[in-house]
Amino acid sequence: MSNLSYLEKLLDGAEVEWKPLGEVAKVKHGKNWKNLDFGDIPVYGSGGVMGYVNKYSYNKPTVLIPRKGSITNIFYLEKPFWNVDTMYYTEIDSSQIVPKFLYHYIKTIDLMSLDTGSGRPSLTQAILNPIQIPIPSPNNPKKSLAIQSEIVRILDAFTQLTAELTARKKQYEYYRDLLLSFPKPAEKQYG
């Protein structure tokens, strides 16, 4: 079965409407964290977790999109977090789009091609908000969310499988090196 026929089967005749990111999610700025107390809430910057604080900036499922620096370093979070000003968070309209569906779709976009920085890679809200996001069956929200959830389920299964394969490869390399580390023969002395 080709990929297209699988997608057609999943859509089951439903149309797809392309909506700007700004219509399905609000892209929001991060804030300074230097004056917050230490805690157990992770602080995200474009490079990942930078530390931990006692307050959160948002506590619902979200997609973090870097504003500066490592602009391809996208994160999906379901737990409270704080984000600094090099990282956007998204307030997702979950009546239109499954948050993790948005995450998987954003990961397909070549964000480097949208870079506005002259030295350090940068993304602006003006660049992000018009990005077109596919919404299957837009006139039937229940069906739309079900289709998106199925796509997420499939992609998450592959993500888990990929992580498992990576771990097994590292395990193999460790044991290969350990099991094949025979002592080298002593150099023969001539003369």
What pLDDT is attached to residue 190?
Answer: 66
What pLDDT is attached to residue 11?
Answer: 81
Its sign, for the CA torsion 163, 165, 170, 171, is positive
Residues in the chain, overall count: 191
The helix/strand/coil state of 66 is strand
**Which two tokens mark 186?**
């002593």
With CA atoms as reference, report the closest residue to 133 among 171, 160, 98.
98
What pLDDT is attached to residue 182?
Answer: 84
pLDDT tens for the chain, 191 residues long, are 556 677 788 787 889 999 999 999 999 999 999 999 999 999 999 999 999 999 999 999 999 999 988 889 999 999 999 999 999 999 999 999 999 999 999 999 999 888 887 778 889 999 999 999 999 999 999 999 999 999 999 999 988 888 889 889 999 999 888 888 888 887 766 65
What pLDDT is attached to residue 186?
Answer: 79
Question: How, if at all, do strands 41-45 and 48-53 pair?
Answer: antiparallel
* Residue 167: CB atoms within 10 Å: 10
For residues 33 and 154, the answer to whether their CB atoms sit within 8 Å is: no
